[in-house]
C-alpha cells in the first residue's frame, strides 16, 4: 500500500512539474487530437494537472483541448467515411464496440445532433462518435458544430472549476490523492459503460 501511495505521489508530482514545461501545451494538444480518433487515454491526464498547476490559464488549456479535440474528431470522421472497412472497423473492434455501430448509425436519422453532443460530454469513447459519424454520412458541418458544443462544454466545465477553486481543489487532492485517483478511474469506467449503453 505504501509503495502504491509513493508511486501515485511521484506520478502526480511529475504531471504537476510537467505542466510548466514549454512542451506541455503541445502534449495536451496532441493527446486531445489523438483521443478523438484512436488514442485510448483522455486529455484529462494533462488538462487537470496543468490547470491545477496554473489555474489562471485553465481557460486557455480548455480552448486548446477543444480545438485539438474537434480537429481530431474530423480525422475520426474521415476514417469512418473513407476507411471504415479497414482502419475504422479495426479501431472500433479494439474497444469491443463493433456490435453497437449499426444501431448507432441507424439512430442518426432522428437523433444525430443529440447523440454527438451527449456522447461528447461523457469521458470516453468519443472516437465511437467521430468514426461512426463519418460512416453514417452525417453532415460534416453539423458534426463540427456539435463537436465544438460537446467538447467545449466538457473541457470548459473543468476550466471554470479549476480557475475558481484550483488552489482549494489542489490542496484537497494532495491530502487524499489515492482516493481521488480511485474516484477518477471509476468515473472513467462508468463513463465508458454509460456511453456504450446509451447507443
* Residues 23-44, mean pLDDT to the nearest whole number: 83
Question: How far apart are alpha carbons 199 and 186 in whole angstroms?
Answer: 20
Q: Would you state the pLDDT for residue 67?
A: 95
Q: Would you state the pLDDT for residue 163?
A: 78
- Structural domain for 83, as ranges: 2-197
In the chain, what percentage of residues exceed pLDDT 70?
60
Query: Is the confidence at residue 174, as pLDDT, over 50?
Result: yes
139 or 10, which is more confident: 139
- pLDDT tens digit sequence for 71-130: 999 999 998 888 877 776 776 676 666 666 666 667 776 777 777 777 766 665 677 788
Banded model confidence at residue 70, pLDDT cuts 50, 70, 90: very high
| Domain tally, the chain | 1
Banded model confidence at residue 148, pLDDT cuts 50, 70, 90: very high
Contact (CB, 8 A) for 84 and 131: yes
Question: How far apart are alpha carbons 148 and 142 in whole angstroms?
Answer: 10
Q: Would you state the pLDDT for residue 95?
A: 63
* Residues 3-27, mean pLDDT to the nearest whole number: 66
Cell numbers found for residue 190: 462508468
Q: Would you state the pLDDT for residue 63?
A: 94
Contact (CB, 8 A) for 134 and 75: no
Please choose, from the candidates 188, 93, 186, 164, the residue with its C-alpha nearest in 3D space to the C-alpha of residue 131.
Answer: 93
Amino acid at each position: 500500500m505504501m509503495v502504491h501511495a509513493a508511486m501515485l505521489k511521484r506520478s502526480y508530482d511529475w504531471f504537476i512539474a510537467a505542466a510548466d514545461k514549454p512542451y506541455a501545451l503541445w502534449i495536451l494538444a496532441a493527446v486531445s487530437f489523438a483521443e478523438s480518433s484512436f488514442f485510448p487515454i483522455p486529455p484529462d491526464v494533462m488538462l487537470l494537472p496543468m490547470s491545477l498547476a496554473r489555474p489562471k490559464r485553465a481557460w486557455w488549456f480548455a480552448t486548446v483541448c477543444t480545438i485539438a479535440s474537434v480537429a481530431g474528431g474530423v480525422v475520426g470522421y474521415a476514417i469512418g467515411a473513407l476507411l471504415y472497412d479497414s482502419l475504422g472497423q479495426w479501431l472500433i473492434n479494439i474497444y469491443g464496440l463493433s456490435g453497437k455501430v449499426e444501431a448507432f448509425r441507424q439512430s442518426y436519422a432522428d437523433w444525430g445532433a443529440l447523440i454527438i453532443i451527449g456522447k461528447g460530454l461523457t469521458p470516453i469513447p468519443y472516437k465511437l462518435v467521430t468514426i461512426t459519424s463519418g460512416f453514417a454520412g452525417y453532415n460534416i458541418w453539423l458534426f463540427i458544430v456539435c463537436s465544438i458544443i460537446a467538447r467545449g462544454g466538457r473541457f470548459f466545465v473543468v476550466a471554470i472549476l479549476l480557475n475558481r477553486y484550483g488552489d482549494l481543489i489542489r490542496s484537497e487532492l494532495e491530502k487524499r490523492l489515492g482516493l481521488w485517483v480511485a474516484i477518477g478511474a471509476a468515473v472513467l469506467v462508468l463513463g465508458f459503460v454509460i456511453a456504450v449503453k446509451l447507443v
